[in-house]
């Protein structure tokens, strides 16, 4: 459920009646936080590779516009000219850098912010920021700087130079650019977007090394200082905007926390903050979710800085100025939409009810441990009331619930012992006739009439018990034999070194052995102390999705799964699952492949399989060779006989 906690806009829903999280695409801002927090790889983004390959194969003229973050993504390609060559091998007609568009846009920003007329702006370069404002702070859409992002601006510039009918593919470090591109139109339209991760996939299929490539320069117009754009405050420096604490009126905010806080305070305290904001969801584009996952911020910072230094000296300044002057007159303005995705705030009674459930009814409004991913406990309670989250996401509440559950399981008699014992005592005394002989009324009756009725009932029950008792003696004898067999089987299961678990159709444990519990670790061992054999435990809470999903498959299809290897924590497990009762009960045998005895057994087994396969192949080859040799012998004998007959005719 980490993805639910990490989503900044609650675009992943996990309601009280949901087993799995659900992505609400209409609320998504494409920030990629969920992608990086999902350990199971269950979250992906739209794959644009097939569409790009189809476009390139169609014979159309396609231009690639490349974000300067490429320097941080491909440190293994030491010469950028080789990178341009690689892209040309993909059949792009033109390969250009978005860095030039950064400079054109920066020039326009510099002019906008210097001509201050009392209105403060948020930069609109980051698509995630634009989407966030449109969906969750729609009153601020008028404060988004009315200019295209560098990617869309570069698309317009490429069409201005190379023709309006060309196709444009953006190569970027972020995911939200895919959403931005889908909304683009006209001269600034970007037809497809691929991330750097997707670009690596394309390169991988080419099997080409840098050493085998020739130099290839980027197509004009080329950028110089625009190559600093991937660094969070690089854009401010390119635009020559004053960030001085005392004399400037612009600040840079980057990273998830600063992103959310800056927009929030910009909206709440406009007369106090009094600042423009240069905002990126990540710590600059070079840390975007469309790049290979890495936390090496300062290494990437150095790579981008080094790349920018080389581009500044490599690009002819005179030509660069001519292009800059030409395209500074190009209309790169835009407008934004309002797509309000805010949900109504629940009533105080509902919010307080949730706070009471999680034990936070007396905390301050701004209190939070932040383990749930929400800013405050109140924000979390609102989300639960709105159906976006469930109380299990509150870690302290979940731990407390778990502890209480274990206490109840450990000490059932503490809660009910007195009442149960009293009922047992009264029942025994009534059955024995103690009340009848003593003439005393039991504590639980108020009159002699009620006591008489109770004695009569006790006598009837006694007679019935005697009748049933005789039958029970015979049944008990048979049950004893069955129980003895079951006990023997149970002991045998417990002694097996392989993990054994039997589950029902609800994925609840019916029976398991010690080896299975040991494989699961300390949490399972603690539960096993309270509930031996983990009986009735939910398998979904014990095993990851990829693991327990196999049990669901066997229950649904009645098809056994045999010898499946799976990673679990630091173990390699080999699992076989069998259908015991159709669609009702399945059992599994699980072996730890790292145990020496299992390794030896499995090694022998798999070597035997390979040997058997090879022997079978040799036999088949031998049969074919033998059959071929036999045919050859027959053909040669036939030729010899024909030759002899012909020779006899000649001699005659």
Cα–Cα distance for residue pair 20/376, rounded to 1 Å: 24
Cα–Cα distance for residue pair 572/565, rounded to 1 Å: 7
What domain range is 472 assigned to? 411-490
Say how many domains are in the chain.
Answer: 5
If asked whether residues 195 and 128 sit together in one domain, one would say yes
Residue 231 domain flag: yes
If asked whether residues 375 and 505 sit together in one domain, one would say no
Q: Phi first, then psi: give them for residue 72, nearest 5 degrees.
A: -85, -20
Q: Would you state the pLDDT for residue 43?
A: 81
If asked whether residues 235 and 193 sit together in one domain, one would say yes
If asked whether residues 226 and 290 sit together in one domain, one would say yes
If asked whether residues 582 and 628 sit together in one domain, one would say no
Q: Would you state the pLDDT for residue 234?
A: 93
Residue 505 domain flag: yes
Q: Would you state the pLDDT for residue 420?
A: 47
Cα–Cα distance for residue pair 90/52, rounded to 1 Å: 10
Cβ contacts of 485 within 8 Å, gap of 6 or more: none
Cα–Cα distance for residue pair 82/113, rounded to 1 Å: 38
- Strand-pair category, 276-280 with 250-254: parallel
Residue 28 domain flag: no
Residue 338 domain flag: no
- The answer to whether 319 and 355 have CB atoms below 8 angstroms apart is no
Going 54 to 57 to 58 to 63, the CA torsion angle's sign is positive
If asked whether residues 501 and 454 sit together in one domain, one would say no
Q: Would you state the pLDDT for residue 178?
A: 94
Residue 332 domain flag: no
Cα–Cα distance for residue pair 142/152, rounded to 1 Å: 20
* Exposed / middle / buried, residue 630 (Cβ in 10 Å: 0-12, 13-18, 19+): exposed
Residue 69 domain flag: yes
If asked whether residues 10 and 92 sit together in one domain, one would say no
Domain boundary among 376, 392, 407: 407
**84 three-class SS:** helix
DSSP state of 55: H
Q: Would you state the pLDDT for residue 479?
A: 45
Q: Which residue has the tokens 């029970």?
A: 472
Domain boundary among 359, 388, 407: 407
- Strand-pair category, 94-97 with 62-66: parallel
pTM for this prediction? 0.63
Domain boundary among 490, 525, 545: 490
If asked whether residues 121 and 252 sit together in one domain, one would say yes
| Structure-block tokens of residue 207 | 């099997």
**Ramachandran sector of residue 207 (left: φ over 0; alpha: ψ -120 to 50; beta: rest):** left
Cα–Cα distance for residue pair 231/516, rounded to 1 Å: 50
If asked whether residues 202 and 127 sit together in one domain, one would say yes
For the chain, how are helix, strand and coil distributed in percent, rounded to 5?
55, 10, 30
If asked whether residues 239 and 365 sit together in one domain, one would say no
If asked whether residues 218 and 81 sit together in one domain, one would say yes
Q: Phi first, then psi: give them for residue 158, nearest 5 degrees.
A: -65, -40
The string of DSSP codes covering 507-563 is SBEEEE-HHHHHHH-HHHHHHHHHSGGGTT-BHHHHS-HHHHHHHHHHHHH---EEE
- Strand-pair category, 62-66 with 22-23: unpaired
- The answer to whether 336 and 123 have CB atoms below 8 angstroms apart is no
CATH number for the domain including 529?
3.30.450.20
If asked whether residues 528 and 565 sit together in one domain, one would say yes
Residue 470 domain flag: yes
Going from the C-alpha of 599 to that of each of 518, 547, 569, 591, 595, the distances in angstroms are 18, 21, 18, 10, 6
Q: Would you state the pLDDT for residue 264?
A: 93
Q: Would you state the pLDDT for residue 63?
A: 96
Q: Would you state the pLDDT for residue 11?
A: 87
CATH number for the domain including 59?
3.40.50.1780
Per run of 10 residues, the mean pLDDT along the chain (length 652 residues) is 82 76 90 81 85 92 94 81 86 94 95 90 95 95 95 96 95 94 94 94 78 82 94 93 89 93 93 93 92 87 92 91 93 93 86 80 67 77 81 70 58 50 54 52 53 58 55 54 55 76 88 85 78 82 80 88 80 86 88 65 52 54 54 56 61 60
- The answer to whether 155 and 104 have CB atoms below 8 angstroms apart is no
Residue 35 domain flag: no
């Amino acid at each position: 459920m980490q993805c639910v906690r990490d989503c900044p806009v609650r675009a992943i829903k996990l309601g009280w009646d949901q087993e799995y999280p659900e992505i609400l695409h209409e609320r998504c801002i494409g920030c990629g936080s969920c992608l990086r927090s999902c350990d199971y790889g269950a979250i992906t983004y739209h794959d644009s590779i097939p569409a790009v390959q189809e476009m390139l194969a169609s014979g159309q003229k396609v231009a690639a516009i490349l974000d300067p973050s490429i320097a941080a993504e491909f440190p293994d390609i030491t010469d950028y000219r080789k990178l341009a060559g690689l892209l040309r091998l993909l059949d792009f007609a033109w390969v250009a850098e978005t860095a030039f568009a950064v400079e054109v846009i920066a020039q326009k920003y510099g002019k906008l912010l210097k001509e201050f007329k009392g209105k403060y702006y948020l930069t609109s370069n980051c698509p995630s920021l634009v989407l966030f404002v449109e969906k969750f702070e729609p009153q601020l859409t008028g404060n988004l700087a009315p200019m295209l992002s560098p990617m869309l601006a570069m698309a317009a510039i490429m069409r201005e130079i190379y023709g309006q009918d060309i196709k444009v593919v953006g190569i970027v470090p972020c995911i939200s650019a895919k959403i931005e591109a889908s909304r683009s139109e006209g001269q600034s339209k970007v037809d497809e977007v691929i991330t750097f991760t997707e670009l690596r996939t394309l390169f991988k299929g080419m099997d080409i090394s840098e050493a085998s490539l020739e130099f290839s320069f980027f197509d004009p117009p080329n950028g110089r200082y625009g190559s600093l754009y991937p660094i969070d405050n690089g854009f401010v420096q390119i635009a020559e905007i004053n960030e001085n604490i005392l004399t400037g009126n612009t600040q840079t905010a980057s990273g998830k926390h600063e992103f959310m806080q800056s927009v929030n305070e910009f909206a709440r305290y406009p007369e106090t903050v009094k600042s423009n904001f240069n905002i990126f969801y990540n710590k600059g584009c070079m840390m975007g979710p469309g790049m290979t996952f890495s936390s090496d911020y300062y290494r990437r910072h150095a790579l981008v800085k080094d790349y920018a230094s080389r581009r500044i000296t490599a690009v002819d300044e005179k030509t660069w100025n001519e292009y800059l002057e030409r395209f500074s007159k190009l209309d790169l303005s835009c407008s934004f939409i309002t797509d309000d995705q805010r949900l109504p705030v629940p009533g105080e009674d509902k919010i307080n009810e949730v706070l009471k459930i999680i034990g936070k009814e007396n905390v301050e409004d701004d209190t939070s441990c932040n383990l749930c991913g929400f800013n405050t406990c109140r924000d979390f309670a609102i989300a639960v009331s709105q159906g976006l989250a469930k109380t299990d996401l509150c870690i302290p509440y979940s731990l407390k619930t778990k502890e209480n559950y274990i206490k109840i399981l450990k000490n059932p008699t503490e809660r009910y012992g007195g009442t149960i014992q009293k009922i047992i005592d009264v029942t025994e005394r009534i059955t024995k006739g103690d009340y009848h002989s003593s003439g005393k009324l039991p504590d639980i009756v108020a009159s002699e009439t009620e006591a008489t009725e109770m004695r009569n009932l006790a006598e009837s029950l006694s007679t019935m018990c005697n009748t049933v008792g005789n039958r029970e003696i015979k049944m008990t004898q048979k049950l004893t034999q069955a129980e003895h067999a079951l006990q023997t089987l149970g002991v045998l299961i417990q002694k097996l070194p392989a993990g054994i678990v039997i589950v029902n159709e609800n994925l609840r444990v019916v029976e398991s052995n010690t080896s299975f519990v040991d494989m699961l670790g300390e949490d399972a061992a603690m539960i096993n102390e309270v509930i031996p054999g983990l009986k009735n435990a939910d398998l979904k809470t014990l095993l990851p999705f990829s693991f327990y999903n196999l049990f669901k498959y066997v229950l649904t299809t009645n098809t056994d799964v045999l010898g499946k290897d799976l990673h679990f924590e630091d173990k390699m497990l080999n699992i076989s699952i069998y259908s015991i009762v159709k669609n009702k009960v399945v059992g599994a045998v699980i072996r730890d492949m790292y145990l020496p005895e299992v390794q030896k057994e499995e090694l022998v087994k798999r070597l035997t399989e390979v040997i058997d396969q090879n022997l079978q192949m040799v036999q088949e080859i031998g049969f074919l060779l033998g059959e071929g040799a036999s045919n050859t012998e027959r053909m040669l004998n036939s030729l010899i006989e024909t030759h002899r007959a012909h020779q006899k005719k000649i001699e005659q």
